[in-house]
Amino acid sequence: MEDVFTEAHIAGIKLKNKIIRSATHEGLADEVGNPSEALIKKYEVLAKGGVGAIITGYAAIMKNGKSPLVNMLMIDKDERIQYYKRLVERVHQYNIPIFLQITHCGRQTFSKTTGLPTVAPSAIKDKLYNEDIPQELNESGIYEIVENFASAIERAKKAGFDGVQLQLSHGYLLSSFLSPHMNKRIDKWGGSSENRFRIVKEIMKKSREKVGDFPIIAKINGYEKSKDGLKLDEAILIAKYLESSRCNAIEVSCGIAEEGFMASRGSFPFEMIAKYNHLMKKVPKILYPLVKIVLKNRFASPEPKYLYNVDNAKKIKENIKIPVIVVGGIRKLEDIKSIINYGQSDFISMARPFIIEPDIVKKFMEGKQQESGCIDCNYCQIGIEESFLKCYYGKV
Q: How far apart are CA 46 and CA 101, in angstroms?
A: 16
- The angle that helices 139-159 and 193-211 make with each other, rounded to 10 degrees, is 40
172 a catalytic residue: yes
Neighbours of 1 (CB within 10 A): 6
User: Residue 259 corresponds to which amino acid?
Assistant: E
Neighbours of 50 (CB within 10 A): 21
SS3 label, residue 253: strand
Which of the following is catalytic: 43, 83, 129, 172?
172
Instruction: Looking at the chain, list the stretches that DSSP marks H as alpha helix, in order from N- to C-terminal side.
Output: 37-48, 81-92, 111-114, 139-159, 173-178, 193-211, 232-244, 270-276, 288-299, 310-317, 333-341, 352-356, 360-365, 379-383
Q: How far apart are CA 98 and CA 79, in angstroms?
A: 20
Residue (of 243, 180, 184) closest to 217 by Cα position: 243
Q: What amino acid positions are annotated as catalytic residues?
A: 172
